[in-house]
Amino acid sequence: MTRHDRLIQEHIHDPYFMKEKYQDPSVCTECGVVFRDGAFEWLDRAPPENAKKMVCPACRRIDDHYAGGLLLLEGAFLKNHRDEIVNAVRNTEGSEKARRPLERIMDMTVGDDKIEVRTTYEHLARRIGEAVHSAYKGDLKLSYSEDEKFIRVHWRRD
């Protein structure tokens, strides 16, 4: 007897990933990331000529302004170290994006004593918060949303 009362669990609960696989190879028309052998990667050469055109999940999130992470850096310490901390944020993004091409900064607002960063996915926001905390100490709080893949990261040092 077949049961019909069970919920079917999707592998990835992210509306920006298609339910079917991308054609192999595919290339994003906006950023140039390539889907090949089941993963997204940056190529150091032109994408294959037979690559199907698509828009990757990260570019779709950016176009829709649908962040996966929100990072707030603030406090009096930030005033005197703003440029260093912005560099730390950018360097962390660079190293993460090289390994995980879909992890990107969507936008960053820099003020005198506050920096707000929105990221495409939660992993990058957490990594940036941890990197700033590791380098400059202070207080770090991570808050994950239960019903969606989203994180709020708050770092403060006065």
Per-residue pLDDT reduced to its tens digit, 91-125:
999 999 999 999 999 999 999 889 999 999 999 99
Nearest alpha carbon to residue 32 among 125, 120, 102: 102
| Helical packing angle, 76-99 and 122-136, nearest 10° | 130
- Tell me the pTM: 0.86
- Domain residue spans of the chain: 10-64, 67-156
- pLDDT at position 52 is 96
The 3-state DSSP class for residue 75 equals coil
